[in-house]
Amino acid sequence: MPCLNLLDTRLAWVVLDMGSTNDQLKNVVWKTTWGGSFLTLIGTGLFWAGSQDFKTSNLPWLAGLAYILFLNVCLPVLYFAYRNQSPVWVNGVMGILGGLVPAAGVLGMGAHFFYFSLAPMPRWVSLFGLVGGTALILHWGYKIACDVMDALHSKGLLAQAYIDADKVYYCDTWSFMQKMDAVQLKRDPFKSYHLWLALAITPFAVVLNRFLTPYTGSGHGVFIVLSILGLPMSLWIIGVAVRAYIVMIHYPLKLQHKTGKPVLMREIQLGP
C-alpha cells in the first residue's frame, strides 16, 4: 500500500520539519502535548466505559488521566530546558510520547490489552489474547529494527545521518528520510502474515470461549471489534515507533555520549 508507506514515513519524521530552532520545538511541544492529551482523553473515556460495563478495576482510565497530566508537565519542561538547541532526541521523545503512545492507546493495542486483561473471561482465554498479542507486536518490532539497522550499517546510511559541524552534529532530516526510503526494506503489516495472525487472535479466543464457557456482557461486543481492528494497527504504529526511536533517540544520544557534541536539528543556528 504506497499511501500507507508514505504515511509511515511522514509520521516517523513528523517532528523533524516544523520550523527552526525555538519556533520548531515550540510547534512540536504544542502539537504533541495537546494532540496527545486529546487522543489519551478519548482512550480514557473508552476505558472508563469498559470498566463500568465489566465491573472491573478503574486503574486503566485513572492511568489515562495520569498520562494526560504527565504530558502537560513533562513535555513543556523538556521544551524550556532545550528551547535554544532543539536536539534531535528531544524531538523524538516528544513525538513518541505525545503522538505514538496515545495513538496506540486509542487506535492500536490499548483496547486489545484492556479487554483481555480486565474483561470477565476464563484465565486461559485472557492469557491467549495477552501472550499472542504481545508476541506478535514484539516480533514485528524486532523485524523493523533489523531492517533499520541494516539500512544504517550495511547500506552505509549511518555516516550520512549526522553531519559533523565542528562543535555539534546536525541531522539533515529531509534528505536522510528520502535516502532511508530508497534503501530500507519496506515492510507493510497489511501485506504480511502478521496481519492475518493479528486478525485471528481475538476471534479465535472468543469463538472457542463461546463454545466452552459462554459469557455475556454489554461491553464485550464493542471491545471485541476494537481489539480485532486495533491489533493490526498496533503493528503499523510499533513500526513507526521503532524507526523513530533508533534514528532520533538511540543514535543521537549514543553519538553525543561518545563525542560530547549534541546532535541538533538541521535548522539550528550554530553560533560562535
pLDDT tens, position by position, 141-195: 999 899 888 888 877 788 778 888 888 888 876 667 677 777 666 666 666 655 6
pLDDT tens, position by position, 257-267: 999 999 887 65
Could you state, in order of their start, the residue ranges of all structural domains in the chain?
A: 2-265
pLDDT at 141: 92
Helical segments of the chain, H only:
2-12, 21-54, 59-82, 88-95, 101-107, 109-118, 123-153, 158-161, 173-183, 193-212, 220-244, 251-259
pLDDT tens, position by position, 66-89: 999 999 999 999 999 988 888 889
Q: Count other C-beta atoms under 10 Å from residue 132's C-beta.
A: 20
User: Which helix (H) or strand (E) covers residue 245, if one does?
Assistant: none
Q: Count other C-beta atoms under 10 Å from residue 219's C-beta.
A: 20
**Taking all residues of the chain, what is their mean pLDDT, rounded to a whole number?**
78
The answer to whether residue 206 scores a pLDDT higher than 80 is no
55 backbone dihedrals φ, ψ, rounded to 5°: 55, 50
pLDDT at 163: 84
Question: Residue 260 carries which side chain, given as an amino acid letter?
Answer: G
Of the listed ranges 57-61, 88-92, 126-130, 169-173, the least confidently predicted one is 169-173
The answer to whether residue 10 scores a pLDDT higher than 60 is no
Work out the average pLDDT over 187-213.
58
